[in-house]
Amino acid sequence: MTAPATKTLQATLAPPTAHKEHRLQRTVATYRRALSEAFDSGADTQSAVNNVVTPYNLTGHAKNALKSYVPKLRKTYNAEELDDGHPVRFTNQGWRLDHSEDRTHEFCWRVPQAGRGNAFWIPLRINPAQESLWADLLDGDVSVGEFRLQEHRTNWVLHVTVEYEVAE
């Protein structure tokens, strides 16, 4: 007999090039502006949030995550104001991972970007204790939930929520 388990995997992005760093910064800034405007507007339904975030230059994966998250801030968490350090949230449809033992950093994440063909790959420094779950992601043995990107001091950190089966 098995039961579902949920875990958040963590990886640090390898130091990005200046161009990729700029794109990461721009994504975070745009996401936080959209989050702030949606929250400040009082939007408490997915439809209302959609009306606010549609004009922003974000991927549909980030906009869909906002549509789910903003109403929860008000209804579930009773938030009255936003923290400045919110991560960029993406829905699982935007998830892409690659692996090659020929690279220094074996795992690479495809960073979703607005516009067709604008996404880019960046190497990940995975937590070695979680390596088997990262491999299971590639094999499809675990399912990806929401994933979040956040700048932490001088590093970029990726958090990936996964669900998998464990023996009871």
Residue 146: per-residue pLDDT: 92
Please, is 56 exposed, middle or buried when counting C-beta atoms within 10 Å of its C-beta (0-12, 13-18, 19+)? middle
Higher pLDDT among residues 112 and 74, named by residue: 112
- C-alpha–C-alpha distance, residues 27 and 23, integer Å: 6
DSSP state of 95: -
Q: For 114-143, what is each residue's pLDDT tens digit?
A: 988 899 999 999 999 999 999 999 998 899
Torsions phi, psi for 111 (to 5 deg): -80, 115
Average pLDDT over all residues of the chain:
94
Residue 5: per-residue pLDDT: 92
Residue 168: per-residue pLDDT: 85
Question: Is the separation of the CB atoms in 72 and 79 below 8 Å?
Answer: no
Residue 85: per-residue pLDDT: 86
pTM: 0.91
Pairing of strands 2-13, 88-90: unpaired
Which residue blocks in 41-152 are alpha helix, DSSP H? Answer: 46-53, 60-75, 131-139
- C-alpha–C-alpha distance, residues 118 and 77, integer Å: 34
| Domain that includes residue 62, residue range | 2-167
- C-alpha–C-alpha distance, residues 124 and 27, integer Å: 18
Work out the average pLDDT over 87-106. Answer: 94
CA-to-CA dists, residue 135 to 32, 101, 126, angstroms: 31, 12, 11
How many structural domains is the chain composed of? Answer: 1
